[in-house]
Amino acid sequence: MAGVSRTTVSNVINGNTKRVSQSTIDRITKILKEQNYVPHMGSVMLSGHGSRIIGVVLGFSFIHGMQSLQDSFVGEITGTLQVEAENRGYYIMLIGGEKIDNVVDMASRWNVEGLIIIGYNEERYHQLSRKLNKKMVLIDAYPKGGYSFQNVGVDDYSGGYQIGEYLYSCGYHRALFIAETEEDSDYARWLGFKQAMERNGGFCSRSRYVVVPQEPRRRLKKYKELLPHFLETKALAFSSDYTAVEAINYFT
């Protein structure tokens, strides 16, 4: 249809256009669009030009007691990754990451070009990297020492510090910090909160770090039990938006 060889068409489809004129590229591209051509992924992977698939590994099935994709943060970041990948001609594949071997199997079978991993700690990352030779970027990972991997995250300590400083400036010197765990982002935010309170006033005891259950019903029951203590201190800081909104809805 284009009046050129199959090799030339293949080169245009795969982006190898150094020896192809612009008029030929335009003619082939127009025909591909008119014919609604879709490349066969198996052929693309076998061609050696890469699968154009990026694996998004979800390191946990549940968060805040619900499926991980129901969480606003996980859902939004996954959706954004999909949009940005497609805008650049790539595809997103979701991979359950609770079992390391499952990640290795899926990434190898589909020849993914790289992995974006949500919810892995340093130990699990190293376990995976020893079994799988793929480029990886982690989201919100917290190393015990210096970083030995590529990580995208936020300054949790500073965020906690700003919360503590703000509450102290409003006169809430005995505010409590509510979290679901005693590690990673929760703990880093607590340390910032604690530091701000102590720099502004005095000792912030560990008893002000309140860990609540991750299962929703048990968490709400805990809020009910702690209500007199909450009323006494008059202010609460939460480690996540989700639990903060949940508590607001419960108390009102």
Q: Which domains does the chain possess?
A: 6-38 (no CATH), 53-152 (3.40.50.2300), 156-251 (3.40.50.2300)
| Predicted confidence (pLDDT) at residue 102 exceeds the cutoff of 80 | yes
pLDDT at position 66, please? 78
Cβ count near 169 (within 10 Å)? 10
End-to-end CA distance of the chain: 68
Match 């299962």 to its residue by tokens.
215
Amino acid at 213: P
Helix ranges restricted to H, 110-155? 122-131
Handedness of CA 16, 18, 23, 24 (dihedral sign): negative
| Predicted confidence (pLDDT) at residue 46 exceeds the cutoff of 60 | no
pLDDT tens for each residue of 170-188: 999 999 999 999 988 899 9
Count of alpha carbons within 13 Å of 168, Cβ hemisphere only? 19
Q: Which of 231, 240, 250 is nearest to 211 (CA)?
A: 240
Q: Which of 5, 8, 14, 87 is nearest to 48 (CA)?
A: 14
List all residues 6 or more positions away from 24 whose beta carbon is below 8 Å from its beta carbon. 2, 4, 8, 12
Residue 3 DSSP one-character state: S
To 5 degrees, how large is the angle CA 73–CA 79–CA 85? 130
Q: For the whole prediction, is pTM greater than 0.85? A: no
Between residues 14 and 49, the one the model is more confident about: 14
Region of poorest pLDDT, from 8-17, 73-82, 87-96, 240-249: 8-17
Confidence band of 45 (pLDDT split at 50, 70, 90):
low
For 72-105, letters b (16+ CB in 10 Å) and e give ebbeebbeebbeebeeeebbbbebebeebeebbe
